[in-house]
Every structure is written in C-alpha cells, then in structure tokens.
Amino acid sequence: MPDEPDENISGGSGGGGREVAVDLSASATTRAAVVVDRLGDLYWQKAYGGQGGFECLVRTILSQNTSDKASQPAHDRLMERFGGGDLAESLAAADREALVEAIRSAGLYNQKSKLIIGVAGDVLSDFGSEADFDQWVREADPETVRERLLEMKGVGPKTADCVLLFAGGRDGVFPVDTHVHRISRRIGLAPADSDHEGVRERLERDVPDEACGFGHTAMIQFGREYCTARKPACLDGPEACPMDDVCESVGVSPETGDVCDPADVRE
C-alpha cells in the first residue's frame, strides 16, 4: 500500500490526519460504499482534521485550476513570507506584488492574490483573528460554515468542503474535484450529466460518513494512477484496473480505445 503523497491538499502525513480502520464490508449497501471500501484497501484510511482553517482556505485557493506540484511550492513560499503571526492579518495587509511573487508557481497568480487578500479581509472583519476563525470552522454547525464560506469571493463548493474536511475534521464531507467528478460518473456512482454538486450529493448520500474523507483523497490518487482523463487503465484490459468489476466504464470503450466525458455519451 503506497504512502499518501505529501504534495496534496491533505498535507500527506503532516496534514493533521490520523490513521483509522473502517470496515465497510458489512455495511457497504451501495456501490459507492463498495468502491470507497476498496479504495481504502488499495491506498489508505485516514480521518482528517487539525489543519488551521484559514491556512487551509488559502492553500485550497492556491490549488484551484492547478496541480499539487505547482501549488505546494506556492503555499510554502507564502507561509515563509507572510506566516509567523496572524496569517489573516498579514495577508489582509499584504503588498499584492509581494504576494504575487510568492505564489507565482500556482498559476493565475494575479487573480489568486486578489482572492487571498479578499478572504483575509473577510475573516478579520467577521471573526477578528485567524485563531477565532479556525475555532469557528471546527465548532460551528457545518452547514453554517459552508454557507458563509461560499459567500466569500473565490470560494466554491470544493474549496469550502476541503476546509470543512481538512480543518474542521467533519465526517460526511466528500469534496469533489476534477478527479472525483470524472471517476464517480465514469464508474456510474452518479448520473453521467451530474455537475460537481450533483456528484457530491450522491457520494455523501451513499458513502458512510466516516469513509468520506479518505474516499476523497484515495479517489484522487486512483484518478492519478489508474483512471486518468485520457487513458484509463481499463483500455489495457480488465485486469489492469482494480475497479473493473464495479465500474460501468461510462464514456470509455476498450474495444475502440475511445474516451470521452461521461456527459457526452449518447444513449
């Protein structure tokens, strides 16, 4: 079983997660639960939580529309330049050109610098400090947290859910990124035309609460190693993919080698 990568939004072994043992074999009454159970055996089972809420928010904004390989150095340089005290206070007062230089590797740095300075101001205005915001993320009603985060410019559902999962440590939260969106529809865990929110609703309905966190991170790893966008492993034969027997392969034709987005499949 491979180690969890250090370069992902969970922070790998340093991300505040802890190893857990979740046995879904008796309670896996949905195919989504079966898939997540198998992913947990293939990769890892961790319960998340413990990251600082505001730092997690900033880190997730940096990860938008880019790879972990690009966003991780940007996060590290931002923390070197602006960390060490109240991060929200430091970023709210940051010189934007200095912030742009720190986060350049994450791409879209002009846009992201504005968003980060904006959410820092929101946090100070509403909560007074980074520490008070972090406490609120951990302790407030999760729907209240999600709704308030979504009101912040630049914070979408995936970003809000990552904060709830990795900082708040909330069970039953299954963030949907590009990998999760693709794989869930390709396997057939959600309708082929589902948007990200539709996939999230299906997964949070069908996966046991305690398995949603590692389901998210392990599905991302599965998407990187097996179920890639352009060349999923099943094109090499059913034995090449550990999910072959529970996958509907929507949008994938091993016979012809054609691959398309599940939503583009015609009945």
Residue 153: per-residue pLDDT:
96
Q: How many CB atoms lie within 10 A of CB 9?
A: 28
pTM, full prediction: 0.92
Residue 222: per-residue pLDDT:
95
Residue 54: per-residue pLDDT:
97
Angle, alpha carbons 55-108-199 (nearest 5°) = 70
Residue 256: per-residue pLDDT:
92
CB 158 within 8 Å of CB 196? yes
Residue 14: per-residue pLDDT:
58
Residue 12: per-residue pLDDT:
61
Residue 16: per-residue pLDDT:
60
Burial state string for 122-132 with b = 16 or more CB within 10 A and e = fewer than 16: bbbeebeebeb
Low-confidence ranges of the chain (pLDDT < 50): none
Distance between CA atoms of 244 and 247, rounded to whole angstroms? Answer: 5
Tokens of 144: 């209240």
Domains defined for the chain, CATH in brackets: 53-167 (1.10.340.30)
CA nearest 108: which of 78, 70, 162?
70
Label each residue of the chain as H, E or C: CCCCCCCCCCCHHHCCCEECCCCCCCCCCCHHHHHHHHHHHHCCCEECCCCCHHHHHHHHHHHCCCCHHHHHHHHHHHHHHHCCCCHHHHHHCCCHHHHHHHHHHHCCHHHHHHHHHHHHHHHHHHHCCHHHHHHHHHHCCHHHHHHHHHHCCCCCHHHHHHHHHHHCCCCCCCCCCHHHHHHHHHHCCCCCCCCHHHHHHHHHHHCCHHHHHHHHHHHHHHHHHCCCCCCCHHHHCHHHCCCHHHCCCCCEECCCCEECCHHHCCC
Q: Which residues are CB-contacts of 216 (< 8 A; sequence separation ≥ 6)?
A: 165, 174, 175, 180
Q: Which single residue is written with the structure tokens 């069908």? A: 206
CB 259 within 8 Å of CB 231? yes
Residue 2: per-residue pLDDT:
66
Give residue-wise pLDDT tens across range 157-206.
999 999 999 999 999 999 999 999 999 999 999 999 999 999 999 999 99
Write 5-12 long-range contacts (CB < 8 A, 24+). 5/68, 5/221, 6/72, 7/68, 7/69, 7/72, 8/68, 8/217, 8/220, 9/56, 9/59, 9/60, 9/63, 9/68, 9/162, 9/166, 10/46, 10/48, 10/166, 10/217, 11/51, 11/166
